[in-house]
Structure 1
Amino acid sequence: MNDDAPLLTVSQAAQLAGMHPQTLRQYDRLGLVTPRRTVGRGRRYSYNDVERLREVQRLAQGEGVNLAGIKRILELERHVALLERQLAELLAFQAETVEAERRVFAAGTTGDVVVVPRGRRVRRTELRVDVDSRASSGALVLWRPSPRR
């Protein structure tokens, strides 16, 4: 089941979070936890919303943080999550780029391009590639030398 699906009414979400329904309405007005709306403008909460409500309650009652502070904490947590996703994407892109730069290519005796492990000297006999003479790949290989460091 999708935890982000808006299934719960105000009273159901309030009961699961251990709060009064009016508290949920107040949190919605303040922008702490914003439920989705039905066509008739009724609030619908997801299970993720209920978890956020519990977090708001923990910060308010357990940590003594005021509602403005809680709102700022939640905004910063969302921002950090976004930055972590972007960092993961950039690290994956960097790993792909580094891996691509580590590849060394050589021309085989038949004209095909083969990948050679970096730091390994290749003999002509190792560059032979068995190619099906009936099938022509028509592949075009582009190579751009990396700048000297």
Structure 2
Amino acid sequence: MSEKSEQPEAESPSVRGVYGISVAAELSGFGVAALRLYEEYGLITPGRTGGGTRRYSDYDLARLKRIAELIEAGVNLVGIGRVLDLETRTGDLERDNRRLEADNAQLRAENTASGAEDDTANTGPTGEAASQPETGRPGRRRRPAAGQRTRLRDGPSRQRATGDHH
């Protein structure tokens, strides 16, 4: 698993490793050997002191709880690693999606505001809208005229039927 995917969200208050391995083992219900094995498999990555002593955080303990749930469900350690990685990636994608949705909403609001300014710029000297070609109602697709080519969403262009059969 990548380093980035193993790191919790920066705003999480419990990412600092404060528990030694024996305390983490007691709090998690796993033995010390199991914690070392899970680290070997990359399921957890406790912090280390300058002397190399493992330090487990509340984030690590929550991850161990999730590992216990997956073990109880019958998932092996390799599968657990994959599940945890996918859950982390899904969380990252959901955060990115929320950010993009907020960015889109802001851009739409800015576009609507600038569109209102454009509408006032398109009026003639009498205050009436300058003549523009009719485009139909917004959000509705216009059908091509007979004989025009249409583009299918995921396929090749097709000829629109003109009513006369060859």
TM-score of the aligned structures, taking structure 2 as reference length: 0.61
Tell me the equivalent position of 2:90: 80
Matches within 5 A, 1:20-99: 20-60=31-71, 62-99=72-109
| C-alpha deviation, 1:93, in angstroms | 0.5
- 1:9 Cα deviation (Å)? 0.6
Q: Which runs of 5+ in 2 are unaligned?
A: 1-11, 121-126, 128-134, 139-166
Cα distance in 1, alignment partners of residues 18 and 84 from structure 2: 22
**Distance of 2:26 and 2:49 partners within structure 1:** 20
| Paired residues for 1:9-20 under 5 Å | 9-20=20-31
Match of 1:8 among 11, 16, 19: 19
Q: Percent identity?
A: 36
| Residue type at the aligned position of 2:117 | F
Deviation at 1:2, TM superposition (A): 2.4
**Letter of the aligned partner of 1:53 in structure 2?**
L
Distance 1:11 1:83 in 2: 35
Q: Describe the SS at the equivalent of 2:108.
A: helix
**Letter of the 2:92 counterpart:** L
**Count, aligned residues:** 109
- Are positions 1:105 and 2:117 aligned together? yes
Hey, what's the Cα distance between the residues in 1 that align with 2:33 and 2:61?
Answer: 14
TM-score of the pair, normalised by structure 1? 0.68
Shift of 1:3: 1.4
CA-to-aligned-CA distance 1:12-66 (integer Å, 9 cap, x gap): 1111001111110110111001111111111111011011111111211x20100
Shift in Å, 1:8: 0.6
Letter in 2 for 1:30: Y
State the alpha-carbon separation in 2 of the partners of residues 76 and 11 from structure 1: 29
Q: Secondary structure at the match of 2:117?
A: strand
Counterpart of 2:143 in structure 1 is: none
Moved over 2 A (4+): none
Unaligned stretches of 5+ residues in structure 1: 107-115, 117-123, 125-147
